């Protein structure tokens, strides 16, 4: 793009951002060009430091940048308002990230960046910046504040589903909680969760006459994990899954739709009505509940160390704040819920050299700090080599195509137009089969009927990942495969659906035949998705030391732990784990403390 067009673009974006009154006063904006920090753009429009920071000198910005964000919203409106005004097909202000801070993307004193591109690759214009992702650097250094030591009852590390659930539960049990997040947004990988949450014997299953049992969920989980799971933890997962669905429902979530993901014997994957993505929904519900309770949540706040006293009891954490620098929080209990390490290519390759260079479906903060700071505090690690690749990440991207697409009926075909695997086998087997095909990729093939059965599929059209044809033959031509072979593959599969018998690959659940035009395909490749290994915990979520004994005051929940899933996690079991074990951790951490008066 030429400089002239860049300038027009920046002025156009500015026009959307600046308050109407100011714009009317300033129609002759002089903009210096491309990558100019917003402070200068504001200055060019006679909006000075005071308007944003509220004071003229000694400007102090808190790590969460709350004060600045209030000012952004006062002038430009909340994200929901900006989103409602947008006519663009890709609308970053209305994305699945929810009501995040404006400063996540827009920066006053450095180049702005489009956070969406941490996972996507949109060519989005942004005032005073670029759509290229820039690494977030948390500055080192001591706190500039006089009192660099704070106190609370329970510190929770990580704002995914496990951390937020633990924080809400501990708060409700009377504890004063501080919840810390190193990224500029809350939600972690949990916010990306797509297909749903597994649970057995729920009221939603009963309403749909689905005959499930805790024992069957336990057996499926153990079988999926190649029987290497910690049986006690797997049983806790299955036994508490229905009450975790009830808990989420009681705090405002809708997970009433029930479908299926690979490795499950019956439909037990719970998600919002119509089959919408589970993660952004429940994270928004958890965020709202944490905000309603006024829980102290701090983003841009990375925990770098877990503190222990001479007796080995955990006593708090050291935090590296984006603006504040290093400081300490003393606490009576610490819950570590910092997620996995799928977005840390070096760590993945260390444990599994054969996965070197593979794409990942994870958010950029999933770098495994949790296992490091946990191990430094004496925790025993287990199953670290058990890294899961998800069979269906859209080729050339980091966008996960949910297993629920296959659960609702899609098939996998190779570049020659043939099926090659039971689409609902466990992820390890499906991934291995795809990697053995031409180009180490394959196509998910579906029709209009399957598209209509799952809301999430519309998102893939939106992201331009889908190829289409009016007939299987037409689709095959678009994909560059022999038309008669794809047509034959679909016909054979449809006959198997009619006969309820998949002779070729023994797929047991075939909910929909592929007979309704149009026909669609998404090219997929396996990508690093989930790390089964992590801190060893017991049934009370206490972190276990190398000595085999629990470390006093130290709890962990969610993907940072190891043991629940053994060698291979079943789709839908992680969100279930985060809620169940997050609740146990929050409760037990709160029991340890004599509540501080709020
Ligand atoms: P996370 O949600 O990852 O949260 C951990 C948080 O800790 C992060 O925000 C991270 O930035 C923060 N953190 C890390 N280090 C530090 C530090 N040093 N200091 C402070 N904060 C720190 N599972 C299902 O069951 N069903 C699904 O449908 C599903 N879909 C998925 C789709 C995608 C694209 C992905 C990536 C995963 C999916 N999963 C799904 C898996 C599941 O979402 C995750 O395993 C689960 O959400 C992990 O939750 P968590 O709370 O343990 O960690
Ligand atoms: C998916 O929706 O395919 C991901 C589900 C999971 O990882 O549990």
Q: How confident is the model at residue 36 (pLDDT cuts 50, 70, 90)?
A: low
Residues 577, 521 share a domain: no
Whole-number Å distance, alpha carbon 221 to ligand 1 midpoint, is 19
Query: Residue 590: CB within 6 Å of ligand 2?
Result: no
H or E element in which residue 529 lies? strand 519-531
| Cα 204 to middle of ligand 2, angstroms | 20
- Measured distance CA(570)–CA(263) in Å, rounded: 6
What atom of ligand 1 comes closest to residue 183's alpha carbon? 11
86 lies in the same domain as 32: yes
Residue 7 covered by a domain: yes
Q: Which ligand is nearest to the CA of 342?
A: 1
Residue 119 or residue 484, greater confidence: 484
Residue nearest to atom 2 of ligand 1 (CA): 160
Does 402 sit in the ligand 2 pocket, CB within 6 Å?
yes
Q: Give the domain-ending residue among 510, 527, 544.
A: 527
Q: Are residues 367 and 219 in the same domain?
A: yes
Count of C-beta atoms within a 10 Å radius of residue 112: 24
Q: Which residues contact 84 (CB under 8 A, 6 or more apart)?
A: 94
Digit-coded pLDDT (tens) for 527-549: 999 999 999 999 999 999 999 99
Whether 560 is covered by a domain: the verdict is: yes
- Give alpha helix (H) positions in 62-202: 66-76, 79-85, 161-172
In a domain, 140, yes or no: no
List residues near ligand 1 (CB under 6 A): 157-163, 180-183, 188-190, 192-197, 278-279, 302-303, 337-339, 361-362, 365-366, 369-370, 400, 530, 558-560, 572-575, 578
Handedness of CA 40, 144, 184, 296 (dihedral sign): negative
In which residue are the tokens 């942004």 written? 126
Least reliable range by pLDDT among 108-117, 326-335, 494-503:
108-117
The Cα–Cα gap between 181 and 508 comes to 42
Q: How many CB atoms lie within 10 A of CB 192?
A: 23
Compute the distance from residue 523 Cα to the ligand 1 centre, in Å.
Answer: 25
Look at the chain and report how many structural domains it folds into: 3
**Residues 358, 410 within the same domain:** no
Q: First and final CA of the chain: distance in angstroms?
A: 56
The ligand with the least distance to the CA atom of 369 is 1
| Residues 281-329: tens digit of each pLDDT | 999 999 999 999 999 999 999 999 999 999 999 999 999 999 999 999 9
Task: Give the pairing type, strands 325-336 and 149-157.
Answer: parallel
CA distance 368 to 395: 25
Whether residue 576 is found in the same domain as residue 481: no
Ligand nearest to the CA of 402: 2
pLDDT score at 31 = 37
What is the domain-level CATH number for residue 577? 3.50.50.60
Give the residue from 557, 551, 542, 546 showing the smallest Cα distance to 588.
Answer: 542
At 486, list the tokens: 């794809």
Nearest to 511 by CA among 258, 220, 202: 258
Q: Which ligand is nearest to the CA of 344?
A: 1
Ligand 1 atom closest to residue 161's alpha carbon, by position in its atom list: 51
The CA distance from 317 to 373, in Å, is: 10
Are residues 166 and 272 both part of a single domain? yes
**pTM of the model as a whole:** 0.90
Residues 412 and 294 in one domain: no
> Which tokens hold the place of 360?
């990942």
Pairwise CA distance, residues 278 & 357, whole Å:
29
Mutational test site, ligand 2, from 339, 392, 402, max ligand atoms within 8 Å of CB: 402
Same domain, 370 and 470: no
Residue 427 bears catalytic tag: yes
Looking at ligand 1, which atom is closest to the CA of residue 340?
Answer: 3
Cα–Cα distance, 167 to 274 (Å, whole number): 30
Whether 275 and 408 have beta carbons less than 8 Å apart is answered as: yes
347 shares a domain with 274: yes
CB atoms within 10 A of CB 523: 20
| Identified catalytic residue from 113, 235, 427, 583 | 427
Distance, CA of 451 to CA of 458 (rounded, Å): 7
**Does 311 lie in the same domain as 230?**
yes
Closest approach atom of ligand 2 to CA 569: 8
Strands 442-447 and 519-531 come out as antiparallel
User: Are 126 and 211 in a shared domain?
Assistant: no
Residue 87: band (very low, low, confident or very high) from pLDDT cuts 50, 70, 90: confident
How high is the pLDDT of residue 141? 58
Pair 185, 115: CB distance under 8 Å: yes
| pLDDT number for residue 11 | 36
**Within a domain: residue 115?**
yes
From 210, 180, 130, select the one nearest 296 (Cα to Cα): 180
Percent of residues, the chain, with pLDDT higher than 70: 89
Residue-number span of the structural domain to which 314 is assigned = 148-386+532-591
What is the average per-residue pLDDT within 215-242?
98
Examine the domain organization and report whether 382 and 393 are in the same domain: no
Using DSSP bridges, classify how beta strands 542-544 and 197-198 pair: parallel, antiparallel or unpaired: unpaired
CATH code at 471? 3.90.700.10
Distance CA 487, CA 492 (A): 9
């Amino acid at each position: 793009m030429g400089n002239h067009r860049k300038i027009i673009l920046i002025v156009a974006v500015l026009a959307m951002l600046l308050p109407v009154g100011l714009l009317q006063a300033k129609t002759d904006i002089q903009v210096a060009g491309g990558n100019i920090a917003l402070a200068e753009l504001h200055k060019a429009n006679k909006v000075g430091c005071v308007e944003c920071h509220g004071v003229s000198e000694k400007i102090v910005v808190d790590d969460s940048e709350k004060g600045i964000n209030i000012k952004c919203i006062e002038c430009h409106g909340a994200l929901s308002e900006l989103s409602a005004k947008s006519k663009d097909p890709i609308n970053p202000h209305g994305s699945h990230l929810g009501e995040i801070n404006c400063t996540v993307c827009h920066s006053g004193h450095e180049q702005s960046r489009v956070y969406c591109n941490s996972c996507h690759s949109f060519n989005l214009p942004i005032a005073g910046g670029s759509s290229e992702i820039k690494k977030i650097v948390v500055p080192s250094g001591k706190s500039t504040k006089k009192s660099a030591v704070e106190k609370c009852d329970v510190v929770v590390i990580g704002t995914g589903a496990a951390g937020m659930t633990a924080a809400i539960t501990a708060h409700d049990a009377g504890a004063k909680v501080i919840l810390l997040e190193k990224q500029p947004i809350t939600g972690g990988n949990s916010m990306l969760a797509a297909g749903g949450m597994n649970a057995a014997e729920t009221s939603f299953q009963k309403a749909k006459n689905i005959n499930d049992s805790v024992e069957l969920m336990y057996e499926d989980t153990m079988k999926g994990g190649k029987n290497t799971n910690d049986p006690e933890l797997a049983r806790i997962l299955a036994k508490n899954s229905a009450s975790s669905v009830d808990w989420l429902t009681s705090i405002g979530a809708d997970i009433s739709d029930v479908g299926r993901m690979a490795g499950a014997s019956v439909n037990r994957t719970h998600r919002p009505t119509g089959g919408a993505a589970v993660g952004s929904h429940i994270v928004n519900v958890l965020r709202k509940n944490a905000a309603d309770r006024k829980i102290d949540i701090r983003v841009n706040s990375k925990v770098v160390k877990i503190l222990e006293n001479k007796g080995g009891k955990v006593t708090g954490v050291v935090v590296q704040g984006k603006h504040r620098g290093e400081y300490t929080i003393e606490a009576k209990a610490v819950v570590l819920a910092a997620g996995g390490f799928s977005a840390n290519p070096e760590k993945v390759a260390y444990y599994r050299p054969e996965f070197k260079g593979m794409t990942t479906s994870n958010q950029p903060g999933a770098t495994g700090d949790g296992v490091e700071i946990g191990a430094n505090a004496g925790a025993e690690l287990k199953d670290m080599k058990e890294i899961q690749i998800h069979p269906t990440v859209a080729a050339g991207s980091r966008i996960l195509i949910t297993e629920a697409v296959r659960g609702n009926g899609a098939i996998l075909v190779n570049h020659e137009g043939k099926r090659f695997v039971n689409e609902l086998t466990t992820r390890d087997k499906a991934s291995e089969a795809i990697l053995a095909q031409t180009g180490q990729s394959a196509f998910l093939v579906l029709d209009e009927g399957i598209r209509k059965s799952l809301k999430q599929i519309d998102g893939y059209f939106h992201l331009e990942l889908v190829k289409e044809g009016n007939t299987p033959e037409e689709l095959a031509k678009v994909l560059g495969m022999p038309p008669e072979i794809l047509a034959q593959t679909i016909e054979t599969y449809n006959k198997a659906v009619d006969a309820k018998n998949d002779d070729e690959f023994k797929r047991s659940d075939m909910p929909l035949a592929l007979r309704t035009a149009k026909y669609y395909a998404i090219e997929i490749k396996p990508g690093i998705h989930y790390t089964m290994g992590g801190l060893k915990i017991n049934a009370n979520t206490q972190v276990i030391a190398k000595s085999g004994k629990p470390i006093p005051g130290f709890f962990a929940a969610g993907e940072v732990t190891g043991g629940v899933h053994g060698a291979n996690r079943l789709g839908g079991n992680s969100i279930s784990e985060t809620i169940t074990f997050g609740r146990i951790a929050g409760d037990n951490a709160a029991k340890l403390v004599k509540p501080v008066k709020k």
